[in-house]
Amino acid sequence: MSERELLKLRVVVRGRVQGIGFRRFVWRIAQSLPISGWVKNNPDGSVEIEVGGAPEHIGHFISDVRQGSFLSRVDEIEELRREKLNQMPEVNFDIR
Protein backbone atom coordinates (compact mmCIF):
# COMPACT_ATOMS: atom_id res chain seq x y z
CA MET A 1 0.00 0.00 0.00
CA SER A 2 1.32 3.43 -0.81
CA GLU A 3 0.43 6.70 0.90
CA ARG A 4 -1.43 7.75 -2.27
CA GLU A 5 -4.00 5.02 -1.70
CA LEU A 6 -5.50 6.40 1.51
CA LEU A 7 -9.11 7.55 1.66
CA LYS A 8 -11.54 9.23 4.01
CA LEU A 9 -15.18 8.27 3.58
CA ARG A 10 -18.29 9.66 5.26
CA VAL A 11 -21.51 7.65 5.10
CA VAL A 12 -25.00 7.65 6.60
CA VAL A 13 -26.53 4.33 7.63
CA ARG A 14 -30.33 4.08 7.63
CA GLY A 15 -32.57 1.38 9.02
CA ARG A 16 -33.00 0.11 12.56
CA VAL A 17 -29.70 1.49 13.82
CA GLN A 18 -30.41 3.52 16.97
CA GLY A 19 -31.16 2.42 20.52
CA ILE A 20 -29.81 -1.11 19.98
CA GLY A 21 -26.03 -0.77 20.44
CA PHE A 22 -25.27 -0.20 16.77
CA ARG A 23 -22.61 2.47 17.42
CA ARG A 24 -20.81 0.08 19.77
CA PHE A 25 -21.08 -2.64 17.08
CA VAL A 26 -19.48 -0.28 14.53
CA TRP A 27 -16.76 0.67 17.04
CA ARG A 28 -15.90 -3.02 17.61
CA ILE A 29 -15.51 -3.57 13.86
CA ALA A 30 -13.22 -0.52 13.66
CA GLN A 31 -11.04 -1.84 16.51
CA SER A 32 -10.16 -4.88 14.41
CA LEU A 33 -8.80 -2.79 11.51
CA PRO A 34 -6.07 -0.15 11.07
CA ILE A 35 -8.56 2.67 10.41
CA SER A 36 -9.53 5.93 12.07
CA GLY A 37 -12.75 7.84 12.39
CA TRP A 38 -15.95 8.13 14.37
CA VAL A 39 -19.58 7.07 14.56
CA LYS A 40 -22.54 9.11 15.84
CA ASN A 41 -26.34 9.10 15.97
CA ASN A 42 -28.18 11.68 13.86
CA PRO A 43 -31.45 13.31 14.99
CA ASP A 44 -33.35 11.68 12.09
CA GLY A 45 -32.67 8.14 13.40
CA SER A 46 -29.74 7.43 11.08
CA VAL A 47 -26.12 6.81 12.08
CA GLU A 48 -23.26 8.76 10.52
CA ILE A 49 -19.78 7.30 10.14
CA GLU A 50 -16.50 8.83 9.03
CA VAL A 51 -13.66 6.40 8.36
CA GLY A 52 -10.13 6.88 7.06
CA GLY A 53 -7.49 4.41 5.93
CA ALA A 54 -6.52 2.11 3.09
CA PRO A 55 -9.33 1.39 0.60
CA GLU A 56 -9.22 -2.36 1.28
CA HIS A 57 -9.65 -1.80 5.03
CA ILE A 58 -12.47 0.68 4.47
CA GLY A 59 -14.16 -1.78 2.10
CA HIS A 60 -13.97 -4.56 4.68
CA PHE A 61 -15.30 -2.19 7.36
CA ILE A 62 -18.28 -1.02 5.25
CA SER A 63 -19.08 -4.62 4.29
CA ASP A 64 -19.24 -5.62 7.96
CA VAL A 65 -21.32 -2.56 8.85
CA ARG A 66 -23.74 -3.39 6.00
CA GLN A 67 -24.35 -6.86 7.51
CA GLY A 68 -25.41 -5.20 10.75
CA SER A 69 -25.57 -6.54 14.27
CA PHE A 70 -28.01 -9.11 15.64
CA LEU A 71 -30.58 -6.46 16.60
CA SER A 72 -30.04 -3.99 13.77
CA ARG A 73 -31.37 -3.78 10.24
CA VAL A 74 -29.33 -1.85 7.70
CA ASP A 75 -31.57 -0.64 4.87
CA GLU A 76 -29.16 1.75 3.17
CA ILE A 77 -25.63 3.09 3.36
CA GLU A 78 -25.40 6.43 1.56
CA GLU A 79 -21.99 7.84 0.72
CA LEU A 80 -21.87 11.53 1.59
CA ARG A 81 -18.24 12.30 0.84
CA ARG A 82 -15.08 10.57 -0.36
CA GLU A 83 -11.67 12.19 -0.43
CA LYS A 84 -8.06 11.15 -0.81
CA LEU A 85 -5.73 11.51 2.16
CA ASN A 86 -2.06 12.45 1.90
CA GLN A 87 -1.13 10.56 5.05
CA MET A 88 -2.62 8.00 7.39
CA PRO A 89 -4.52 9.63 10.25
CA GLU A 90 -3.83 8.44 13.77
CA VAL A 91 -5.51 5.04 14.20
CA ASN A 92 -8.30 5.96 16.58
CA PHE A 93 -12.04 5.38 16.28
CA ASP A 94 -14.49 7.17 18.57
CA ILE A 95 -18.15 6.94 19.48
CA ARG A 96 -19.64 10.42 19.53
Q: Is the confidence at residue 2, as pLDDT, over 80?
A: no
Assess if residue 18 is contained within a domain. yes
Query: The CATH number of the domain where 14 resides is what?
Result: 3.30.70.100
Would 95 be classed as within a structural domain? no
Say if 81 falls within a structural domain: yes
- What's the pLDDT at 28? 97
Instruction: Indicate whether 57 belongs to any domain.
Output: yes
Beta strands in the chain (DSSP E): 6-16, 36-41, 47-53, 73-85, 93-95
Given this model, what pLDDT does residue 40 score?
Answer: 98
How many structural domains are present in the chain? 1
Concerning whether 23 is annotated as a catalytic residue, the answer is yes
From the candidates 4, 23, 28, 66, give the one annotated as an active-site residue.
Answer: 23
Give the C-alpha separation, 87 to 84, whole Å. 9
Q: Which of 10, 14, 16, 41 is catalytic?
A: 41
Report the C-alpha gap between 29 and 64 in whole angstroms: 7
Tens of pLDDT, residues 20-71: 999 999 999 999 999 999 999 999 999 999 999 999 999 999 999 999 999 9
Domain carrying residue 53? 3-90
Contacts of 31 (CB under 8 A, 6+ apart): 93
Whether residue 79 is contained in a domain is answered as: yes
Nearest CA-CA partner of 52 in 92, 95, 12: 92
